[in-house]
């Protein structure tokens, strides 16, 4: 139960409804226990000379108390079960909000399917505890309490015999319950594995079909599903054993009651009606005792699920707190400075990605970063929006250390188009205007014109209202890249970062896009990563990286005169173009 204490804030939020529910539970069981008294009276009445009105009166009172018990049970469900849905709503919102704030490194090592499983299956297990679990726990407690009080009032001796199986029952709940928790956690982990496999398979279905690996993926799913089935079956067998033991112990408790009770009636110490009333109370204990197993199962599943949810909640989000000083976007110009920056991944200190990088980029300038694959280009620009943090040195924006800026403010200044482009399953217009402060059609059209996407979109039947499939599957690679560029432009950034964002477009379109960026965004600082010299040669400055260090920096003409690494890249591309033209 200690794992479930983290739910305390949610329970306190709806304490009025829960307290009302608990009050109605008491009333439900109070009236339920009062009712059998009139059954006993009716039986005793019929054992002597009686009039039918006396029996009908007792039957009517029993019916009345049954109705009252049922009515308050309805009110119990209206309060406690409804509260469980409210808390489920709050938990889902908190879980999703927390996921949005987690750092990028978390998503580098956690699968989407795992997160979906925790937010659906695990959260549903917690809701079952908050609703049926809590309701039946207290209902069982008060039913047992009131029934035992009534039984003791009738005959302490009979109550003793009725409770003979109680020690064995307690031991069974303890031993089997702990085993059920372990199996429940294992089942939830298997479900997460299945969810992850299905999510990845459906997202990559086109790759699966291209390589005709349908049978392979089906076999993988069958293996995981069989394991999930086996674990559920194992838990089901344990639960069946649990319920069988509880039911048997309940039935066994009636044998001494009937035997001893019969002797007591023979000795005229109790009436037949008293024995009948006592047996009704023993029977009333059947469901509470049996429900102990069901509630135990719910609690164990919820406990395991909450452990998995709390693992996510315990991960610290990215810091977005407001620091002192001005943070208005208009107050920034867009100059960037790197001061002796070094970076390596955690645990890889001997293999630095960036080493002693010092670089000043003026506001409004257009700077290209080139270098071989693995030279650190992407890592360098990822430091600016703090997708990674430098392990040495500092990065400055307009002379201010970026770590002194609120993360939200910093990223609102930046338009970022990464290597892997992503589009949402929405219209083209909404994808371009996604998250933008302006909801104007003119801004969408202007951004699409700069990105050279407008003419393509105009040819679609629904134009900008065209719905895109998952990840923009109904667009070509070049169109996806240009849509992502348009989205970054619509953000109206002070700094635009294009990380190899034009690799899927032809050189002619690439040149027109860059020319449009120069004309339409003269005050925006642009950082361009590209492998094409034809693109970067018109930049104000070109920075060449090699093995994490800056080896050259200057204009296109200056770097050619150096006749070093940049010149080698340039001559190599000229040769490739010549070979292509001859072929």
DSSP 348-365: -TTS-SEEEEEEEE-TT-
Q: Which residues contact 332 (CB under 8 A, 6 or more apart)?
A: 397, 398, 413, 494
Residue 416 has a pLDDT of: 85
The mean pLDDT of the chain is 79
The 10s digit of each residue's pLDDT in 427-449 is: 888 878 875 656 566 777 878 88
435 token code pair:
């998250």
Strand 400-401 and strand 354-361: the pairing is unpaired
Which of 165, 155, 151, 164 has its CA nearest to residue 265? 155
Tell me which of 225 and 108 has the higher pLDDT.
225
pLDDT band for position 134 (cuts 50, 70, 90): confident
The 10s digit of each residue's pLDDT in 393-426 is: 888 888 888 888 887 788 888 888 887 777 777 7
pLDDT band for position 181 (cuts 50, 70, 90): low
Please say if the pLDDT value at position 88 is more than 80: yes
The string of DSSP letters for 233-260 reads: HHHHHHHHHHHHHHHHHHHHHHHHHHHH
Lowest mean per-residue pLDDT among 38-52, 277-291, 569-583: 569-583
φ and ψ at 527, to 5 degrees? Answer: -110, 120
Task: Classify domain 2-313 by CATH architecture.
Answer: Up-down Bundle (1.20)
Please say if the pLDDT value at position 325 is more than 60: no
Tell me which of 155 and 108 has the higher pLDDT.
155
The 10s digit of each residue's pLDDT in 224-264 is: 888 888 888 888 887 787 777 777 776 677 777 777 777 77
Tell me which of 56 and 471 has the higher pLDDT.
56
Structural element, H or E, at residue 578: helix 565-582
Please say if the pLDDT value at position 141 is more than 80: yes
Separation between Cα atoms, residue 125 and residue 122, nearest integer Å: 5
- Average pLDDT for residues 310-338, to the nearest whole number? 69
Domain ranges of the chain: 2-313, 329-413+497-557, 421-492
Domains 2-313 and 421-492 in one fold: no
3-state secondary structure 272-309: HHHHHHHHHHHHHCHHHHHHHHHHHHHHHHHHHHHHHH
Residue 328 has a pLDDT of: 58
110 token code pair:
């956690």
Which of 393, 338, 332 has its CA nearest to residue 367? 338
Domain 421-492 classification at class level: alpha beta
The 10s digit of each residue's pLDDT in 340-392 is: 888 888 777 778 888 888 888 888 888 888 888 888 888 888 888 888 888 88
CB 515 within 8 A of CB 343: no
The 10s digit of each residue's pLDDT in 368-377 is: 888 888 888 8
User: Alpha carbon 311 to chain centroid distance?
Assistant: 11
Please say if the pLDDT value at position 536 is more than 70: yes
104 token code pair:
């990028």
The total of other beta-carbon atoms located within 10 Å of residue 365's CB is: 17
Residue 73 has a pLDDT of: 87
φ and ψ at 439, to 5 degrees? Answer: -115, 55
The total of other beta-carbon atoms located within 10 Å of residue 269's CB is: 12
Lowest mean per-residue pLDDT among 153-157, 270-274, 397-401, 433-437: 433-437
pLDDT band for position 23 (cuts 50, 70, 90): very high
Lowest mean per-residue pLDDT among 175-179, 200-204, 457-461, 567-571: 175-179
Please say if the pLDDT value at position 326 is more than 50: no
Lowest mean per-residue pLDDT among 383-397, 542-556, 566-580: 566-580
Please say if the pLDDT value at position 8 is more than 70: yes
Please say if the pLDDT value at position 324 is more than 50: no
Separation between Cα atoms, residue 275 and residue 265, nearest integer Å: 8
- Average pLDDT for residues 9-32, to the nearest whole number? 88
Greatest CA span in the chain, whole angstroms? 125
Give the SS3 label for residue 56. Answer: helix
Which of 558, 562, 567, 578 has its CA nearest to residue 533? 567
Residue 27 has a pLDDT of: 92
Separation between Cα atoms, residue 280 and residue 404, nearest integer Å: 72
Regarding pTM above 0.75, the answer is no
Q: Superfamily assignment of 329-413+497-557 in CATH?
A: P-loop containing nucleotide triphosphate hydrolases (3.40.50.300)
- Average pLDDT for residues 441-461, to the nearest whole number? 80
In 162-206, the DSSP E strands lie at: none
User: Alpha carbon 302 to chain centroid distance?
Assistant: 16
């Amino acid at each position: 139960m200690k794992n479930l204490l983290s739910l305390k804030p949610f329970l306190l939020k709806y304490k009025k409804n829960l307290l009302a529910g608990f009050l109605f539970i008491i009333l439900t069981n109070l009236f339920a226990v009062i009712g059998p008294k009139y059954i006993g009276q009716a039986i005793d009445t019929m054992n002597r000379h009686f009039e039918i009105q006396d029996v009908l009166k007792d039957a009517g009172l029993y019916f009345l108390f049954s109705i009252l018990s049922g009515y308050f049970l309805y009110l119990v469900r209206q309060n406690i079960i409804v509260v469980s849905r409210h808390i489920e709503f709050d938990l889902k919102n908190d879980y999703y909000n927390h996921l949005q704030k987690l750092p990028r490194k978390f998503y580098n090592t956690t699968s989407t399917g795992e997160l979906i499983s925790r937010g659906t299956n695990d959260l549903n297990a917690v809701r079952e505890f908050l609703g049926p679990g809590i309701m039946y726990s207290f209902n069982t407690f008060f039913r047992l309490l009131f029934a035992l009080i009534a039984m003791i009032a009738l005959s302490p001796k009979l109550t003793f015999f009725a409770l003979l199986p109680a020690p064995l029952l307690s031991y069974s709940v303890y031993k089997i319950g702990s085993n059920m928790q372990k199996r429940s956690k294992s089942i939830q982990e298997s479900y997460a594995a299945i969810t992850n496999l299905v999510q990845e398979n459906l997202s990559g279905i086109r790759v699966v079909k291209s390589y005709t690996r349908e049978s392979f993926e089906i076999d993988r799913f069958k293996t995981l599903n069989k394991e999930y089935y086996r674990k559920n079956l194992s838990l089901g067998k344990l639960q069946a054993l649990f319920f069988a033991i509880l039911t048997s112990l309940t039935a066994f408790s009636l044998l001494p009651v009937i035997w001893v009770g019969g002797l007591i009636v023979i000795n005229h110490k109790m009436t037949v009606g008293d024995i009948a009333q006592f047996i009704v109370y023993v029977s009333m204990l059947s469901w509470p005792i049996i429900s102990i197993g069901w509630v135990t199962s719910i609690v164990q599943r919820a406990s395991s699920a909450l452990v998995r949810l709390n693992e996510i909640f315990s991960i610290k989000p990215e810091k977005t707190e407001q620091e002192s000083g001005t943070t208005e976007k208009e107050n920034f110009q867009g100059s960037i400075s790197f001061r002796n920056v070094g970076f390596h991944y955690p645990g890889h200190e001997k293999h630095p990605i960036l080493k002693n990088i010092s670089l000043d980029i003026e506001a409004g300038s257009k700077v290209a970063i080139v270098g071989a694959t693995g030279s650190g280009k992407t890592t360098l620009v990822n430091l600016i929006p703090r997708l990674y943090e430098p392990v040495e040195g500092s990065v400055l924006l307009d002379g201010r250390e970026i770590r002194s800026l609120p993360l939200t403010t910093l990223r609102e200044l930046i338009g970022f188009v990464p290597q892997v482009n992503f589009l949402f399953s929405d219209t083209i217009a909404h994808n371009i205007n996604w998250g933008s402060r302006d909801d104007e059609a003119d801004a969408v059209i202007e951004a699409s014109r700069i990105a050279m996407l407008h003419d393509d979109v105009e040819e679609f039947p629904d134009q900008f209202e065209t719905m895109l499939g998952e990840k923009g599957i109904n667009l070509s690679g070049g169109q996806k890249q240009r849509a992502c560029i348009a989205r970054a432009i619509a953000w109206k950034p002070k700094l635009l970062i294009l990380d190899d964002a034009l690799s899927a477009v032809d050189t002619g379109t690439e040149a027109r896009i860059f020319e449009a960026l120069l004309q339409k965004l003269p005050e925006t600082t642009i950082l361009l990563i590209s492998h094409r010299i034809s693109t970067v040669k018109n930049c104000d400055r070109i920075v060449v990286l090699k093995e994490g260090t800056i080896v050259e920096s200057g204009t296109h003409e200056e770097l050619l005169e150096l006749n070093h690494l940049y010149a080698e890249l340039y001559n190599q591309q000229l040769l490739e173009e010549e070979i292509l033209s001859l072929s």
